[in-house]
Amino acid sequence: MEKFTEDETGSFYSYLSEGCRLCQKGAKMVLFVTGLCTRNCFYCPLSDERRGKDLVFANERPVNSDEDLLKEAELMNALGTGITGGEPLLKLERVLYYIRMLKTSFGKGHHIHLYTSMAPGRQILEKLADAGLDEIRFHPPQKYWNDLKNSQYADALQNAKELGIEAGIEIPALEGAEKVAAFAEETGVFLNLNELEFSDNNSEALLMNGFCLESDTSSAAAGSCKFARTALTKCKKAHFCSSVYKDAVQLRKRFQRIAKNTAREFDEITDDGTLVYGVIEGGDQELAEKTLRNLEIPSELFEVKNRKIEIAWWVLEELKESIKEELEPSGSRLTIIERYPFEDGMLVELIPL
């Protein structure tokens, strides 16, 4: 049996594809190319906002133009993109267009992987390879798992490999995963197993299929990890991605990248990738600005915005007693806030001074 590396989030692996390695750094942008899909997986996690709707998102940002997509990639300093859906290959021309655009804008080194539940023929794979696709992850629906060897997925994997695309299988860790693992081993492709997760839209179906939540604080389905442990004994190039990992590490690392890229000199970046700064809001803003200038606060330690001043939290903390007296009578409020690292990012904490 292969040696597995296990991390503190409960993920374990003997092999990580390049796409997974970049995802671990939080450096992959998630490009959702359509919510359309003809499958009906009982565990489908898509939300009502996306399922069945032909919409495009880059991470959480709705994409209405190429600009939106490029802006998001720049914001997080993306080193690669994962193309997902819905079923991306229902919109093949769109997928090809985006692969070419990302490669042209960010260079050939911008790593692109694609998820699909289909088993495309050679011609489609040739188009994807020509556009520059680096990695493909097939997600055969559960009804095929018993006999993948005689399915079109076997041909699709073989063709993808021949065309120089790194090819693997990615499925949720469920009953039958060990058969998929044995097939992946025989075919010489990597296997990713995702810990089965409850989402708003699939919980009823998961419960009906005999799954329950692992704990009150997790969205993982109890028992999924066990299926993965059994399956991964059968495959040398394998990776189990835990639900905690996705929530805690992937998102936090992405926030850290965005924060590093966008923070002003006076923003403090936390370990979670959120930003902390002080705010003087409301009341007589001209007076507030004049007070800071009279106190000779360096201009790089605050920013005057519409109806508020944002300022280094440690400066505000130090000045609060002296400036409160002057500013509060006009209705100014002093606070320290922590928020997600993008414009109008969600407020995490607000401390009134």
Whose Cβ is closer to ligand SF4: residue 39's or residue 149's?
39
Name the token pair of 75.
């914001």
Q: For 287-344, what is the HEC assignment?
A: HHHHHHHHCCCCHHHEEEECCEEEECHHHHHHHHHHHHHHHHHHCCEEEEEEECCCCC
Whose Cβ is closer to ligand SF4: residue 44's or residue 131's?
44
CB of 47 to ligand SF4, least distance (A): 11
Cα-atom radius of gyration of the chain, to the nearest Å? 24
CB of 290 to ligand SAM, least distance (A): 54
Q: Which of ligand SF4, ligand SAM, none does 170 bind, CB closer than 5 to 8 A by kind? A: ligand SAM
Q: Which of ligand SAM, ligand SF4, none does 194 bind, CB closer than 5 to 8 A by kind? A: ligand SAM
Q: Which of ligand SF4, ligand SAM, none does 171 bind, CB closer than 5 to 8 A by kind? A: ligand SAM
CB of 314 to ligand SAM, least distance (A): 42
One-letter amino acid of 330: S
Residues that bind ligand SF4 (CB under 6 A): 37, 39-41, 44, 46, 85-87, 117
Q: Is 307 left (phi over 0), alpha (psi -120 to 50) or beta?
A: left
Q: Which of ligand SF4, ligand SAM, none does 197 bind, CB closer than 5 to 8 A by kind? A: ligand SAM
Site for ligand SAM in 99-128 (CB under 6 A): 115-117
User: How far, in Å, CA of 233 to CA of 251, rounded?
Assistant: 29
Site for ligand SAM in 27-66 (CB under 6 A): 37, 43-45
Q: Nearest-CA neighbor of 29 among 112, 128, 115?
A: 112
**Exposed, middle or buried: residue 216 (CB in 10 Å: 0-12, 13-18, 19+)?**
exposed
Q: Which of ligand SAM, ligand SF4, none does 84 bind, CB closer than 5 to 8 A by kind? A: ligand SAM
Do 232 and 1 form a contact (C-beta atoms < 8 A)?
no
CB of 143 to ligand SF4, least distance (A): 12
User: How far, in Å, CA of 231 to CA of 234, rounded?
Assistant: 6
Do 240 and 173 form a contact (C-beta atoms < 8 A)?
yes
Site stretch for ligand SAM (CB under 6 A), options 81-89, 158-166, 280-288, 324-332: 81-89
User: How far, in Å, CA of 309 to CA of 284, rounded?
Assistant: 11
Q: Which of ligand SF4, ligand SAM, none does 29 bind, CB closer than 5 to 8 A by kind? A: none
- Tell whether residue 194 is a contact of ligand SAM (CB under 6 A): yes
Three-class SS state of 191: strand
The size of the interface with ligand SAM (CB under 6 A), counted in residues, is 19
- Tell whether residue 227 is a contact of ligand SAM (CB under 6 A): no
Q: Which positions touch ligand SAM (CB under 6 A)?
A: 37, 43-45, 84-87, 115-117, 139, 170-172, 194, 196-197, 202
